[in-house]
Amino acid sequence: MQFTAGEPIEGHRQVGWNNPRCGSVFTAKIEGQSVYGHIKRFVRFTCRRSGVQSEHAVVQWFAKPKYPDGDPLLVRIDTSEPRALAPTLLHLDEIDPDRILYEIDPPFMFMMRVKGLDIGV
């Protein structure tokens, strides 16, 4: 799976696609709950002693997801609600590699995973 950082939430159009794409929107599981966010940038740290590198993403979380159909397939996020979590430095291994389809209908974002289901519903 390929992610990018800092793309606008509204996305950009790709040739042959009807809907815009934003490679910066992602999901992760935090404390047993699926949450959604926007990758702002990537950072790499190198330990001075060992030289071991660690890669992270600076993320801005969306509001807590709601499930309008009562199942974990379709997710609705109200962009006018407060964010679920404070901005976070997240290790890249914590990002769920599933692709997400989404549509914006202000003030809501509707999201659906291409594979898998949300947890903690």
pLDDT in tens, 20-51: 556 788 888 888 888 999 888 999 999 999 99
Residue-range definition of the domain harbouring residue 64: 25-113
85, part of any domain: yes
In a domain, 11, yes or no: no
Residue 66 placed within a domain: yes
Looking at the domain assignment, is residue 43 inside a domain?
A: yes
Query: Is residue 16 domain-resident?
Result: no
How many domains, the chain? 1
Tell me which residue of 116, 112, 3, 20 sits closest to 59, measured CA to CA.
Answer: 3
The CA distance from 81 to 19, in Å, is 25
Query: The pTM is what?
Result: 0.80
Residues 44-70 have a mean pLDDT of 92
51 inside domain: yes
Q: How many CB atoms lie within 10 A of CB 36?
A: 23
Kindly state whether residue 4 falls inside one of the protein's structural domains.
no
CB 118, CB 36: distance < 8 Å: no
Split at pLDDT 50, 70, 90, the class of 77 is very high
